[in-house]
């Protein structure tokens, strides 16, 4: 568990995937990114799929839901998934039932962040994974997901969110949103136009789940480095610039959604006055982290 003042935060790795590093590094040459990350014999990069459980103000909240158990065996092979369904394992390890979740936050609707909104039952039928939860997403994100283009249609899968909206269980937000005192969902555009990050503040301590604003820790250190999946990369750059200033001013703990090696860090200035990631050791709260 990570404690931010009175706020309890639990880190799960829902899935471990092995990806082509071209997706994670885009225009950054291998000569540069290979100083920080290594690939396996298949030339694939190990990535995590982090979700957070947050408890505060009498509410139990899950930030992103990963893939859950909804990927078929062939899909797991195709996406080189070596560990999956970690969020449910984490809840079970903490003695928390899926029905205990009050709020599910979908930072955005790419399938690696919201497929776990549903769960395959014993008969292979999709059922809401968190039956008592209200789900939150930005209205613009929902609109973009409903009108994908050639670049985005492979990751915006309507079965992951449209049934929840039809049942009145998906609330559409219009901008920044306070979940509870000290817990805020903030627009951090770039990866998608209505992507959100989570900011936590309590008793003088601060933290943020940056999600795909900076998928990897080094993305936050280096403004020009970002994934090829960002649909508005120049906006990502300016979003990160503003959040770098905040992280330096507050000393906040920053949590990254896809970094299997540096899931959390603080940002500091080096001897030349440049932002530098300082990894912080935190443990997963699910028994298997892939």
Q: Each residue of 21-72: pLDDT tens digit?
A: 999 999 999 999 999 999 999 999 999 999 999 999 999 999 999 999 999 9
Which residue carries 């390890």 as its tokens? 93
* Alpha-helical regions (H) of the chain: 21-25, 30-33, 73-78, 86-93, 111-114, 139-146, 162-166, 217-221, 233-250
In a domain? residue 133 = yes
In a domain? residue 289 = no
* pLDDT tens sequence across 220-236: 999 999 999 999 999 99
Q: Calculate the CA dihedral of residues 206, 248, 228, 172 and round it to 10 degrees.
A: 40
What is the number of structural domains in the chain?
1
- Residue 286: the pLDDT is 83
In a domain? residue 285 = no
Backbone angles phi, psi at 67, to 5 degrees: -95, -20
Q: What is the pLDDT along the chain (290 residues), one digit of tens a residue?
A: 999 999 999 999 999 999 999 999 999 999 999 999 999 999 999 999 999 999 999 999 999 999 999 999 999 999 999 999 999 999 999 999 999 999 999 999 999 999 999 999 999 999 999 999 999 999 999 999 999 999 999 999 999 999 999 999 999 999 999 999 999 999 999 999 999 999 999 999 999 999 999 999 999 999 999 999 999 999 999 999 999 999 999 999 999 999 999 999 999 999 999 999 999 999 999 876 55
Judge residue 107's burial from the number of C-beta atoms within 10 Å of its C-beta, 0-12 exposed, 13-18 middle, 19 or more buried.
buried
In a domain? residue 287 = no
* Alpha-helical regions (H) of 79-135: 86-93, 111-114
- Domain span holding position 219: 2-279
Q: What is the CATH number of the domain that holds 206?
A: 3.60.15.10
Tokens representing 138 are 């930005």
In a domain? residue 288 = no
Q: Of 144, 123, 130, 16, which is closest to residue 80 (Cα–Cα)?
A: 16
Q: Quick one: DSSP state of residue 145?
A: H
Give the DSSP letter string of 57-71: TTEEEEE---STT-S
In a domain? residue 249 = yes
- The answer to whether 155 touches 110, Cβ cutoff 8 Å, is yes
C-alpha angle with apex 41: 230 to 77, nearest 5 degrees? 65
In a domain? residue 12 = yes
Backbone angles phi, psi at 32, to 5 degrees: -90, -50
In a domain? residue 252 = yes
Q: Quick one: DSSP state of residue 93?
A: H
């Amino acid at each position: 568990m990570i404690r931010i003042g009175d706020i309890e935060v639990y880190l799960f790795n829902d899935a471990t995937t092995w990806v082509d590093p071209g997706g994670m590094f885009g225009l950054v040459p291998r000569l540069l990114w290979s100083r920080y990350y290594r690939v396996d014999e298949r030339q694939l990069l190990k990535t995590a799929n982090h979700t957070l459980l947050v408890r505060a103000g009498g509410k139990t909240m899950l930030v992103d839901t990963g893939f859950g158990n909804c990927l078929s065996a062939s899909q797991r092979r195709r996406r080189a998934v070596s560990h999956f369904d970690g969020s449910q394992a984490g809840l079970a390890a903490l003695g928390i039932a899926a029905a205990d979740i009050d709020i599910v936050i979908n930072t955005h609707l790419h399938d690696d962040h919201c497929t776990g909104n549903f769960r395959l039952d014993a008969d292979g039928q999709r059922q809401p994974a968190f039956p008592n939860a209200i789900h939150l997403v930005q209205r613009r994100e929902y609109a973009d997901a409903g009108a994908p283009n050639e670049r985005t249609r492979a990751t915006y899968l309507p079965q992951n969110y449209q049934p929840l909206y039809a049942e009145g269980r998906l609330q559409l937000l219009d901008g920044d949103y306070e979940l509870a005192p000290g817990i805020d969902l903030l627009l951090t555009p770039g990866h998608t136009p209505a992507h959100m990050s989570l900011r936590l503040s309590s008793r003088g301590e601060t933290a943020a789940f940056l999600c795909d604003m900076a998928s990897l820790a080094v993305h936050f250190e280096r403004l020009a480095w970002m994934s090829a999946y960002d649909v508005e990369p120049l906006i990502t750059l300016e979003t990160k610039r503003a959040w770098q200033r905040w992280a330096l001013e507050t000393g906040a703990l920053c949590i990254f959604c896809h970094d299997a090696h540096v899931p959390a860090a603080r940002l500091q200035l080096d001897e030349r006055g440049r932002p530098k990631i300082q990894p912080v050791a935190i443990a997963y709260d699910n028994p298997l982290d892939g």
